Amino acid sequence: MSAVWLVAKREIVTTVRTRSFIIGLIVTAVVVGVVAFLPKFFDGPDKYTIGLVNSQELPLKQALPEAEFTFKTFQDRAAATKAVLDGDLDAALVDGTTVLTDGQIETELGVLMQSVNREVKLGAAGVNVPPLAMESVGADTRYEDARRGIAFLLVIVLFGLVIQSVSMVAMGVVEEKGSRIVEILLASLRPWQLLVGKVVGLGVIGLINLAVVLVVGIGAAVASGFAENFPPGMAGIIAGTMIWFLLGYAFFATYSASLASLVSRQEEVGNVLGPMMLTVMVTYGVSIYATGDPSSTLSTVMSLIPPFSSMVMPVRMAAAEVPLWEVGVAMLIMMAAVAGIAAVGARVYERAVLRTGARLKFTEVLRSR
Amino acid sequence: MLEITGLRKQFPGGKVALDGVGFEVRPGELYGFVGANGAGKTTTMRIVMGVLLSDAGQVSWQGRPLDADTRKRIGYMPEERGLYQKMRVAEQIEYFGQLHGMSAAAARTATNDLLERLTLTERRNDAVEALSLGNQQRVQLAVALVHDPELLILDEPFSGLDPIAVEALSTVLQERARGGVPVLFSSHQLELVERLCDAVGIISAGRMVATGSVETLQAAAGRALKVVVRGAEPGWADGLPGELAVQGDRHVLVTSGGDDQEILRRAVKSGHVEHFGFERASLTEIFKEAVA
């Protein structure tokens, strides 16, 4: 175990110290921060300017507290009409009876003025109308948009991190094989210890990246006020994301390490990782689909099948309510898949990593002694 | 004692790389392993280190088959040098020390000692890739030595080194041998092997064609008589065995047979004898003879 830890520690220390890691972290943090603040810029409170001709201000603010209303008084109908046509006003109220707009009145403002006007008139006549109590008997859809947005961002982050971490594993394997460091290493280590140490070490690096994304993202969302839109159970979503990242990473990293052990030069890494990258791409595609339709049959099925489940399930968990048993079953199947690929991958790695030279075939290596 | 017996290895392509290789390296012995390219030196060493499996044969250390635990106590330098290019010098040596089972503190002390010995102390925090090839080789050696190995196996440790580095490395290896460590190394620099080694093994096409101490091999090769005569008449050596070379008025006769007294009389009669003596075969000659 201490040998595994030594290998892992070396991976962590040497990676953390590289300039590209530090720069990558800073860039990620800035991008995540900006993205988390974006809704504030695009989704500012509504602002209305309303002209008054021979009329009193309507208590619109009372009815819609989050919007801002500005009132301007005009001498006559003609002046108000001109201001409406010039776009200086959203609407003008004339004589307390007519509303002037440019083309069709904006629906929300129109309905609002209509009902507030009615309330004022009724109140003046001494009639008190209690407001209607709103109650939803269907699923809670209040957070749907926020959930989908979060799920979408998660897919991009998970996809990027898995690709990045897995490439680092592959390049590390080839570095050791190509330079024959592996000969010295394997004189004092078992191949599986080297493999597991590398995967664990770079997994920690991936987790550091993910933690930065989550901390900066949530911090910025809280600072920008967007966090108010967070659905309940956000902590569960975050914990789930981390666990699923680790499971997906373990799967793809072991897979890519065994593929990378087949070649001896960095130039060949891209080629040999082809089939694995295709699987990651398909997983990504299904996950993007699942952000839009998290409860469809396809999303549900894919969230149970490894390795797709590693990205589709966290997306579903963020985008909709997923029964706990489904998450549990998906995790068990995924863990079994990780164990399976680790067994096969370690066999291939063990046999291929000392055979320097021309590219080897996966199945051939698996069959060989 | 390291004992290698009956190693056989056939590669998937069908090429027989080793065909019954066997020799021993005793404690405190510097053993030079020589052979042409492709003769099987590297294959033998890789089998000893367990990075390659043999088809048959055995490698034993202190009378017991070499296992993974024992291999941790061997110092190994592979033919193709392997270091983490972006890792710092001292950290890298410490890392390998720890992989060989040393505590962090012990690995640090041993690393500092080695850096001092190999005059690399000033480069301790540089990345390996920033070092010259000669210095990288020193780091590679440090990696092989850091855990104070019980046995050293070095594949071409001298290749690519300048004369000063060759001297430094020779000294280090002799010291280790004097400390009782068997040192097995391969080399193409036969003069160096002749000067340095207690024992030599010559491998050719996967078989050991000669093993033993340098003296034993020389004795077995016989001695050659060399006569240099200045200003001799042409034809003075007619009828004598051996080969005559004429460079101007300098006649050089080299022979391994015939009556030495008769040869001397003829030489004295025909001119001015500059040199008359028996010469030991050099390792290069023995090598050429053995692999022919």
Give pLDDT tens digits for B165-182.
888 889 999 999 999 999
Q: Chain-wide mean pLDDT for chain B? A: 89
Q: Tell me what pLDDT residue A369 has.
A: 58
Of B198, B218, B238, which residue sits at a domain end?
B218
pLDDT at site A252? 94
**B187, B218, B249 - which closes a domain:** B218
d(CA B254, CA A313) in angstroms, rounded, equals 87
Among 3.40.50, 3.30.70, 3.40.190, 2.30.30, what is the CATH number of A47-124? Answer: 3.40.190
Q: Do A184 and B82 count as a contact with CB atoms less than 8 A apart?
A: yes
pLDDT for A200 beyond 90 = yes
| pLDDT over 90 (residue A338) | yes
Spell out which residues of chain B touch residue A201, defining contact as CB-CB under 8 Å.
none
**ipTM of this complex:** 0.77
B86–A18 C-beta distance less than 8 A:
yes
pLDDT value of position A40: 64
Residues with Cβ within 8 Å of residue A189, at least 6 apart in sequence: A3, A7, B99
Residues of A contacting chain B (CB within 8 angstroms): 3, 6-7, 10, 13-14, 18, 175-176, 179-190, 354, 356, 369
Window B:172-231, CB contacts with A under 8 Å: none
Residue B196 and residue B253 in one domain: no
Assess whether B202 and B270 both reside in one domain: no
Q: How many domains does chain B have?
A: 2
Average pLDDT, integer, range A248-274: 91
* Cβ atoms of residues B210 and B217 within 8 Å: yes
φ/ψ bin of B235: left (φ > 0), alpha (ψ from -120 to 50), beta (otherwise): left
Q: How far, in Å, CA of A74 to CA of A72, rounded?
A: 7
> B4 by DSSP, 3-state: which?
strand
How many contacts, defined by CB atoms under 8 Å, are there between A and B?
A: 64
Q: Is residue B128 located within the same domain as residue B66?
A: yes
Nearest CA to CA, how far is B127 from chain A (Å)? 11
Q: Are residues B93 and B167 in the same domain?
A: yes
Q: Which domain holds residue B117?
A: 2-218
**pLDDT-based confidence at A43, cuts 50/70/90?**
low
pLDDT band, residue A139 (cuts 50/70/90): low
Same domain, B280 and B136: no
Both B166 and B273 in one domain: the answer is no
How much is the pLDDT for B81?
A: 76
Asked if B9 is an interface residue toward chain A (Cβ–Cβ < 8 A), one would say no
Rounded to the nearest 5°, which phi and psi values hold at A139? -65, 150
Judged against a pLDDT cut of 60, whether residue A1 lies above it is answered with: no
* B positions 89-108 inside 8 Å of A (CB): 91, 95-96, 98-101
Work out the average pLDDT over A328-336.
Answer: 95
> Which B-chain residues 133-172 have CB contacts (< 8 A) with chain A?
143-144
Cβ-Cβ contacts under 8 Å for B262 (sequence gap 6 or more): B240
Contact A185, A1 (CB under 8 A): no
CB atoms A181 and B50 under 8 Å: no
B84 with A186: Cβ contact below 8 A:
no
Q: Identify all chain A residues contacting B49, using CB atoms and an 8 Å cutoff.
A: 183, 187
Most confident of A98-107, A191-200, B243-252: A191-200
Judge: A354–B78 Cβ closer than 8 Å, yes or no: no
Work out the average pLDDT over A319-338: 92
Specify the pLDDT at position A105. Answer: 64
Note the pLDDT of residue A291: 86
Are A317 and A331 in contact by the 8 Å Cβ rule? The answer is no
Q: Are residues B110 and B16 in the same domain?
A: yes
**What residues in chain B have per-residue pLDDT under 50?**
none
* B121 and A CB contact within 8 Å: no
Among chain A residues, the shortest Cα distance to B77 is held by: A184
| Banded pLDDT at A141 (limits 50, 70, 90) | low
Instruction: Choose one of B153, B183, B218: the last residue of a domain.
Output: B218
Looking at the fold, whether B53 and B117 belong to one and the same domain comes out as yes
pLDDT of residue B84: 92
How many Å is the maximal CA-CA distance in chain A?
97
- Are A184 and B96 within 8 A, CB to CB? yes
Q: Is the pLDDT of residue A143 over 80?
A: no
Q: Which of A6, A7, A183 sits opposite B51 (nearest CB)?
A: A183
CB contact under 8 Å between B71 and A354, yes or no, is no
From B4's Cα to the closest Cα of chain A, the distance in A is 18
Q: Are residues B246 and B123 both part of a single domain?
A: no
Does residue B252 share a domain with residue B191?
A: no
Residue ranges of chain A assigned to CATH 3.40.190? 47-124
User: Are B72 and B109 found together in one domain?
Assistant: yes
Q: CA of A354, closest CA in chain B: separation in Å?
A: 7
Amino acid A44: pLDDT: 58
- Claim to verify: residue B198 and residue B72 sit in the same structural domain: yes
Closest Cα of chain B to A306: distance in Å? 35
Contacts of residue B191, defined as CB under 8 A and 6 or more positions apart, other chains included, come to B282, B283, B284
CATH number of the structural domain spanning residue B252: 3.30.70
Minimal CA separation from A161 to chain B, in Å: 23
The enclosing domain of B11 has a CATH number of 3.40.50.300
* Nearest CB neighbour to B99, from listed A182, A185, A369: A185
Does residue A39 surpass a pLDDT of 70?
A: no
Average the pLDDT over each of A118-127, A351-360, B25-34 and give the range with the smallest value: A351-360
Reply yes or no on whether the pLDDT at A49 is more than 80: yes
Are A4 and A193 in contact, with CB atoms under 8 Å apart? yes
- Of the CA atoms within 13 Å of residue A110, those in its CB half-sphere come to 10
Say if residues A205 and A11 touch (Cβ distance below 8 Å): yes
Mean pLDDT (chain A) is 86
Query: What would the pLDDT profile of A297-310 be if each residue is shown by its tens digit?
Result: 999 999 999 899 99
